[in-house]
Structure 1
Amino acid sequence: MGTGTTMRAVRLHAFGGPEVLVHEEVPRPVPGPGEVLVRVRAAGVNPLDWYARRGFPNLPRELRPAWQPPLILGSDVSGTVAELGGPDTGWSVGDEVFGLVRFPGLASGYAEYVAAPADSLARKPAALGHTEAAAVPMAALTAYQFLHRYLGYQGGGPAVVVGAAGGVGHFALQLLRLAGAEEVIAVASGRHEEFLRGLGADRFVDYTRTPVADAVRDADLLFDTVGGPDAHLLLPALRRGGRVLPVYLGDYRPELAAELGVVVNEGVWQVRSSGSDLAELAALLADGRLRVALDGVYPLHEAAAAHRRAEQGHIQGKIVLRVGD
């Protein structure tokens, strides 16, 4: 740990591969009005982090955040309130909290301390350790806000989750079941079948063996966490009037969607920091109705190794950085 005015963090000074992530001493942030200083115990690793590390080459130039090195990545944290930025934050020193910090802005969570807006945090469920809690915010809020804040989902016919074993996917599968989908169909590679059935999938499709549209027909909703150039191949799995919720950019071919009578909700929703939404998820986590899976846990100084693992793909759950003891 650094001195009273410094801390250890992982920072990048140029865009590039995992090797640009440097563990070093940096200034410790000071919380402003409406903020608290969180002593970070664990930080979640998200796809956004490795896209940002490379300078967002996967996004059209006009959509790229204007982030420039030096940067500390990371938006998901779990830890303990160490200092208050004012008397009206609603938190006390020593409170155990977790949150998606400042998203869609830059949060700087790969560090021993982060200054977080008080309203982006929720109380960490006692049933979860910090590593599990840090795996939750962005992925679970993405699934929750897509379904409940944007779609107003209240149950329905068969629902398909593509990329169901990943961070967003494994939460979406569980939240669809909790919200009353009559059947939840998980799509992933074959090695994830037992894991996904354990989370409540009614059916499993191994996309490496069977195209989704060959295995599924007349789905009501398709939650796509993969996107990409082949996204349009998923459309025939839906009924007329069925909806696609894309988490990432994909080629859904508007003319094909129109021909099939499928609604593709592209470019209309982005996850946002929300302590109140996270508190609702915390209640589900506290009593086991919602579970979090960890693919791997790495010490902060091995952030580069965590990114290498992430870029191999086929992740089961989330990758987390452990910060401090």
Structure 2
Amino acid sequence: MPKAIAFAEFGSPDVLHMQETQIPMPGPGQVRIAVRVAGVNALDHKIRAGLMNQVFPVTLPHVPGVEASGVIEALGQGVQGFSVGDPVFGQTVTGSYAELALADASRVVHKPDSVSWEQAAALPVADETAYRALEMLRLQPGETVLIHAAAGAVGGVAVQLAVARGLTVVGTASEANHAHLRALGAIPVTYGDGLVDRVRAAAPKGIDAALDAAGRGGAVEASIELTGGTDRVVTIADAPGAAEHGVRFTSGGADEYRGGPAFAEALDLLAAGKLVLPVYRVFPLAEAAEAQRVSEGGHAVGKLLLAV
């Protein structure tokens, strides 16, 4: 029987336990993946804590995880372009904290040999989210974009995509992460009181657009003030703030998903050496609870992963 990490009640990371599961059978348009590495995201611990029931309701027991790299083990009806044994990565339908997971074939792509299992598992959510948000901001080369939480998984990819597109990037982060942001090509500023003045000093020609990947600390309000309006402010982390202040919130629903072009651009940048995917730590699958504790702490620079 394949194994997975699951929780049968909402609560702290202690509710996560290893269990045996049935072999999932792919439906039409789906593939079954033998997972090699699974990604850990903030969404995972928010669902586990019961904070997302209205937006992402789950049936208990629930296996967390929405992204993985691995090898296709079975094909559902109508799947074309893939074969059993193909190495792939992408977003999953069933929880990726597992030895076996299902994915829609439309949301996975082939993994090049030059891309490691860890790199591939670090890409799907961060890359698709960053790409989607930047596209919504309608950025043009030569413009300046402010990215909040620029040292995080999504923020770090967004910084690199923006730099590769010829944009000036100002990124908020703790001072300890400023050297990291400079290495990615961003101008770092410290978040907190006085943020607006510090950003204006860092970008005297002004801010054209802003991406909030932090969801805290008044990032939405500061972004509106710095850009001069709500039209070119997008948040991926503050739905209530978006509703209150009239800016765009994006969660990556079916009508927004941009994985195909996002993954294509990321793979090109990886091949050219223009995209780095820092990994904070790789945990064994059995230590998923500790991985979520670290994720919930909010200070990891780079991706948290589970080796299955």
CA contact (8 A) 1:120 1:273 kept: no
Partner of residue 107, structure 2: 120
Counterparts of 1:135 and 1:75, CA distance in 2: 11
Measured after TM superposition, the shift of residue 73 of structure 1 is 0.8
Measured after TM superposition, the shift of residue 223 of structure 1 is 1.0
Counterparts of 2:250 and 2:104, CA distance in 1: 26
Matched, 1:53 2:38: no
Q: How does 1:286-325 map to 2 (within 5 A)?
A: 286-323=271-308
Partner of residue 17, structure 2: 22
Partner of residue 215, structure 2: 227
Partner of residue 133, structure 1: 120
Deviations 1:301-322 (A, max 9, x none): 1000101111111120110001
Counterparts of 1:15 and 1:290, CA distance in 2: 37
Partner of residue 90, structure 1: 81
Partner of residue 65, structure 1: 56
AA aligned to 2:31 is V
Deviations 1:217-256 (A, max 9, x none): 321111111123623244333246772111111665889x
Counterparts of 1:89 and 1:29, CA distance in 2: 20
Structure 2 length normalisation: TM-score? 0.89
AA aligned to 1:296 is R
Counterparts of 1:266 and 1:75, CA distance in 2: 20
1:302 is paired with a residue whose SS is: helix
1:27 is paired with a residue whose SS is: coil
Measured after TM superposition, the shift of residue 274 of structure 1 is 3.2
Partner of residue 238, structure 1: 227
AA aligned to 1:214 is D
Measured after TM superposition, the shift of residue 84 of structure 1 is 1.9
When residues 15 and 226 of structure 1 are mapped into structure 2, their CA distance, relative to the original with a 3 A threshold, is same
Measured after TM superposition, the shift of residue 269 of structure 1 is 5.9
AA aligned to 2:198 is A
Counterparts of 2:215 and 2:80, CA distance in 1: 39
Partner of residue 154, structure 1: 140
Q: How does 1:125-204 map to 2 (within 5 A)?
A: 125-148=112-135, 150-181=136-167, 183-201=168-186, 203-204=187-188
When residues 117 and 269 of structure 1 are mapped into structure 2, their CA distance, relative to the original with a 3 A threshold, is closer
Partner of residue 68, structure 2: 77
User: Which stretch of structure 1 is more off in the superposition, 43-52 or 274-283?
Assistant: 274-283
Matched, 1:110 2:97: yes
What is the CA RMSD across the aligned residues, in angstroms? 2.4
2:288 is paired with a residue whose SS is: helix
Unaligned runs of at least 5 residues, structure 1: 1-5, 258-262
CA contact (8 A) 1:119 1:276 kept: no
Counterparts of 1:222 and 1:173, CA distance in 2: 12
Unaligned runs of at least 5 residues, structure 2: 201-205
Counterparts of 2:7 and 2:50, CA distance in 1: 11
Measured after TM superposition, the shift of residue 214 of structure 1 is 1.2
Counterparts of 2:239 and 2:173, CA distance in 1: 17
When residues 213 and 35 of structure 1 are mapped into structure 2, their CA distance, relative to the original with a 3 A threshold, is same
Counterparts of 1:241 and 1:26, CA distance in 2: 47
Match 2:247 to one of 258, 264, 278: 264
Counterparts of 2:48 and 2:242, CA distance in 1: 30
When residues 278 and 193 of structure 1 are mapped into structure 2, their CA distance, relative to the original with a 3 A threshold, is same
When residues 273 and 177 of structure 1 are mapped into structure 2, their CA distance, relative to the original with a 3 A threshold, is closer
Deviations 1:64-98 (A, max 9, x none): 32212100110110011122224643111221100
CA contact (8 A) 1:156 1:220 kept: no
